[in-house]
Structure 1
Amino acid sequence: MTLSKLKPLRRLSHHLRRRSLAVSASAVHQYTPLWTPTQLINVSPAAESLFHITIDVSESPDLAASYTHAGQYLQLRLKDPNIRPTFLAIASPPSIAASRGVFEFLVKSIAGSTAELLCGLRRGDTVELSPAMGRGFEIDRISPPENYQTVLIFATGSGISPIRSLIEAGFGADKRSDVRLYYGARNLDRMAYQERFKDWESSGVDIVPVLSQPDDSWTGERGYVQAAFARAKRILSPQSTGAVLCGHRQMAEEVTSVLVGDGVSSEKILKNL
């Protein structure tokens, strides 16, 4: 083919690529969630800078039914259209939505954020929710339990929220020989869900609290969860080990590096960041 014939084809190809990108960008820009008005049932302290938020979805069966897997999240917006929506991981398991008609959240109040305004609301106030989004934790990748006897769970700060949903939804922890939750916080005052630890342990999860700035009375693990895990290790069979990570990106990257270096398949490391 001659050069004179190639030039128009190149121009056409370039035009089509630009048009395709423009259409894709327009589609993303025009995406609007289906917002459902809901009422707050409870806003209460969970730990320092963390709040329990419970929202009534009993009158919105489609919204409740959209939550099917632990680890899913949604968008929440307030009445003021000038305030940007915020993304929240759902802390309660899907069964709670079905049986009690509520979504529960663990929300970190950050100064100047939508989350701070949300944590300042009261029972009966109205917020709008999008349907649940995302695939959640793909537990099928580390199932059945007999094939993945070791599951290592890592969470920091409010990242414990979707981990709570996973543990309470159930993933066969009692059928595995070694399930450990490394849960990091600055100190005990910033560690949510301590009242649930006993129930989690009875379900088969060994909890390892890790405090980065504890007081002098603390006798447990100190520092960061990745360092605590590196000290403990005890991965007897990498081929039958899975992991779940939720929290700071640096933590996730460092833990992943250690796990993969020990022979754990990256396909068996489930992340929710």
Structure 2
Amino acid sequence: MPVTVLSVSYARVSPPPLPMSILRRLPFHPLNLRHHLPSRRFATLAAVQQDTTVWTPTTISSIETAAESLFHVSIDVSNFPDLAASHTVPGQYLQLRLPDVEKPSFLAIASPPSLATASGAFEFLVKSVAGSPAELLCGLKKGDVVELSQVMGNGFNIDKIDPPEDYPTVLIFATGSGISPIRSLIESGFGADRRSDVRLYYGARNLRRIAYQDRFKEWESSGVKVVPVLSQPDDSWTGESGYVQAAFARAKQINSPKGTGAVLCGQRQMTEEVTSILVADGVSSERILRNF
């Protein structure tokens, strides 16, 4: 007996709709593409979208001890004039990447912007921490290759405390390696010699941890009074002791809050407490500058 084969078009066959009473009891799952596409693909796409950093291979010019656990690092950027010229404002920073080290380091540029264009160098003050990329960086030597990102950040907006005649008092606060961008500020010139009261409160554990001591005379000749503050001084120390914020609270001497600006870089507790003291004394928060 011959067998008849029916031809069925599955594209045209659909089940009858479910009653609404059943539909209401079915769980609702919103469409989420992550559940339907491989997670590895999404990770790759995210990495491509986020990693827009341009890395420039450069060489170490010199690494010298600046203080206990602090190193002065100079990097040659003379072959990359665009990179050198991108440092325009004191307080800017960049990322530095070492060979075979995945995580880069963020470093504030310690040299003034003019040094990069004139001498083709970026200078940094790096704190060596055991087991960190910074420790590896401080162990390099002249000629070793590192990679730099483009210069980042807005730096210190000095326009907010200019002209010097309107803001004769500028109070500067730094702790530890936070003195790095402060050096860039002081040596780039912000009219300190045309202001009547410019003070730098620089805090560290002891005198051995104070960097740039060889520059203090030059800074003072430019109009900046340097006030080192040691939290754990030895018995021979006769200067300010304790924490920076406490030393400033003892001195204060703010004659005109409206004519006062401030620049801060360092430990979070210090910056928060100094800011509170300044604002309580009438200094505008808009005149309190940070580089991050």
Task: Report the TM-score, using the length of structure 2 for normalisation.
Answer: 0.83
Moved over 6 A (4+): none
How far apart, in 1, do the equivalents of 2:107 and 2:169 lie?
29
C-alpha distance in 2 between matches for 1:235 and 1:189? 30
Distance 1:28 1:215, change over 3 A: farther
1:55 maps to 2:104: no
Per-residue Cα deviation, 1:175-208 (whole angstroms, up to 9, x for no partner): 0000000000000100000000000000000010
Aligned to 1:4: none
Equivalent residue number for residue 218 of structure 1: 237
Residues 247 and 272 in structure 1, CA contact (< 8 A), matched pair in contact too: no
Paired residue type of 1:101: G
RMSD: 1.6
| Long gaps (5+) in structure 2 | 1-31, 33-41
Tell me, yes or no, if the aligned pair for 2:95 and 2:105 is still in contact at 8 Å: yes
Q: CA deviation at 1:26?
A: 4.6
Does the 8 Å CA contact 2:168/2:259 hold for their aligned counterparts?
Answer: yes
Q: What are the superposed Cα offsets for residues 204-260 of structure 1, whole Å, 9 maximum, x if unpaired? A: 000100000000000000000100000001001000000000000000000000000
Contact kept in structure 2, 1:109 and 1:116, CA below 8 Å: yes
- 2:209 paired with 1:199: no
| Structure 1 residue 130 corresponds to structure 2 residue 146 | no
- Residue in 1 that maps onto 2:205: 186
Amino acid at match of 2:88: T
Alpha-carbon distance in 1 for matches of 2:48, 2:102: 20
Is 1:160 matched with 2:184?
A: no
Which has the greater radius of gyration?
Answer: 2
The question of whether the paired residues in 1 share the 8 Å contact of 2:153 and 2:291 is answered with no
What residue in structure 1 maps to residue 263 of structure 2? 244
Q: Equivalent of 1:264, from 278, 283, 288?
A: 283
Q: Distance in 1 between matches of 2:164 and 2:276?
A: 24
Deviation at 1:271, TM superposition (A): 1.3
User: Partners of 1:140 and 1:113 in 2: how far apart?
Assistant: 36
Q: What's 2:19 paired with?
A: none
Q: Quote how far apart the aligned CAs of 1:272 are.
A: 2.9
User: Cα distance, 1:83 vs. partner?
Assistant: 3.1
Distance of 1:262 and 1:95 partners within structure 2: 36
8 A contact 2:90–2:156 mirrored in 1: yes
Secondary structure, aligned partner of 1:145: coil
Instruction: Please say if 1:170 is aligned against 2:162.
Output: no
Number of aligned positions between the proteins:
250
Amino acid at match of 2:291: N
Q: What is the Cα deviation at residue 30 of structure 1?
A: 1.7
- Name the amino acid aligned to 2:180: S
Residues 28 and 189 from structure 1, CA distance in 2 versus in 1: closer, same or farther, beyond 3 angstroms? farther
Matched residue type, 1:47: A
1:7 is matched with which residue? none
The 1-side partners of 2:235 and 2:49 are apart by: 52
1:34 paired residue number: 54
**Structure 1, unpaired ranges of 5+:** 1-14, 16-21
| Cα distance in 1 between the residues matched to 2:172 and 2:213 | 16
TM-score, length-scaled by structure 1: 0.89
